[in-house]
Structure 1
Amino acid sequence: MTTLLDRPNTALLVIDVQNGVMANAHDRDGVIANVNTLVGKARAEDVPVVWVQHSDDQLKRDSESWQYVPELVRRDSEPLVHKTYGDSFEGTDLEALLAERGVGRLVVAGAQTDACIRSTLHGAFVRGYDVTLVGDAHSTEDLSAYGAPPPDQVIAHTNLYWQWQSAPGRRGGTVDTAEVTFAAGGAG
């Protein structure tokens, strides 16, 4: 249903599953296992896997913290987008990469739920993409000391509100890893 013309394809967007980001993430191992399952499924179905990697003052480029977790291995043929803002589209070549591949629908996984995941979901949606969040393949750290709800509640709330997103010509949605399908019009 995307509003982007001649963009019938789907891509998997893997956001910021980096050592420093995932070090204290809620259900770290389970989320990484689900992301790995999604990557394998996308590759088996010849669906583009686009990797996004954040850097900032706390996540210095080329540092150990900045590297992707060792459980996930990007293929050289899979695009890598470097970003410095929460929204993976801001100041990057993500839009051009997706346009080249005819992508109008995104399946999103990664971290952190309450930062880069939410920013990218909304950024993609307002740019005309259909956007599916994989509900058991994103995470965040515990920021309750700063007034945030516990991470399981942040994740649950994000899954809940994204399930019902819609706008003229596009839609959001939330599915679990087992329900993801990359086919046009599918559940995920």
Structure 2
Amino acid sequence: MTTLPDRPRTALLVIDVQNGVMDGSHNRDDVIANINALIGKARTEDVPVVWVQHSSDELKRGSESWDYVPELVRRDAEPLVHKTYLDSFEDTELESVLAEHGVGRLVVTGAQTDACIRSTLHGALVRGYDVTLVGDAHTTEDLTAYGAPAPEQVIAHTNLYWRWQSAPGRRGGTVDTAEVTFAAEHAG
């Protein structure tokens, strides 16, 4: 249903699964295992895997905290998009990378649920993409000390409201890792 013309393909987005982001994140190991399973499936089906990597004062480019977790290995041919804003599209080359690959549908994984994941979901939908969130392949840290709900509640709420997200000619959706399909007519 994407509103982007001539964009029949689906891509897997792996957002900010970096050491400094994942350290202390809820259900870290299971989330990483699910992302790894999706990467393997995408590669087998010749689906583009697009990596997004955040830089900030806390995630200085080239530092250990900035590096992707060692359990996930990016192939040289897989695009890597560097960002400094929460929305992976904002002031990055993500749109041109997706256009080059004919992508109009995204399957989204990564961290953090209440920051870069949410911002990218909405950023993609308003730009014309269909966007499927993988409900058991995103996570966040515990920010209850700052008044936020517990991480499992943040994740559950995001999965709930994204399940029925839509806009004219576009749709959201939430599925678990086992339900992900990269076929254009299903895209999740």
What does the per-residue CA deviation read over 1:134-153, in whole Å, with 9 as the maximum and x for residues that have no partner?
00000000000000000000
Moved over 2 A (4+): none
Unaligned runs of 5+ in 2: none
Secondary structure at the aligned position of 1:106 is classed as strand
Distance in 2 between residues matched to 1:122 and 1:185, nearest whole Å: 21
1:119 maps onto 2:119 in alignment: yes
Q: State the partner residue of 2:156.
A: 156
Q: Does structure 2 retain, via aligned residues, the 8 Å contact 1:179–1:187?
A: no
Query: Percent identical across equivalent pairs?
Result: 84
Structure 1: which amino acid aligns with 2:72?
L
How far the C-alpha of 1:56 sits from its partner, in A, is 0.4
- For the 8 Å contact 2:22–2:28, the answer to whether it is kept is yes
Q: TM-score by structure 2 length?
A: 0.99
How far does the alpha carbon of each residue in 1:3-53 deviate from its partner, in whole angstroms, 9 at most, with x for none? Answer: 000000000000000000000100000000000000000000000000000
1:66 equivalent in alignment to 2:78: no
Q: Unaligned stretches of 5+ in structure 1?
A: none
Work out whether 1:43 is the aligned partner of 2:19.
no
Specify the alignment match of 1:170 in structure 2.
170
Structure 1 equivalent of residue 82 of structure 2: 82
TM (normalized to structure 1)?
0.99
Q: How many residues align?
A: 188
Q: State the Cα distance separating 1:186 from its structure 2 match.
A: 1.5
SS at the partner of 1:10?
strand
State how far apart, in whole Å, the 1-side matches of 2:115 and 2:187 are: 24
* Aligned twin of 1:136: 136
- The answer to whether the 8 A contact 2:136-2:177 is kept is yes
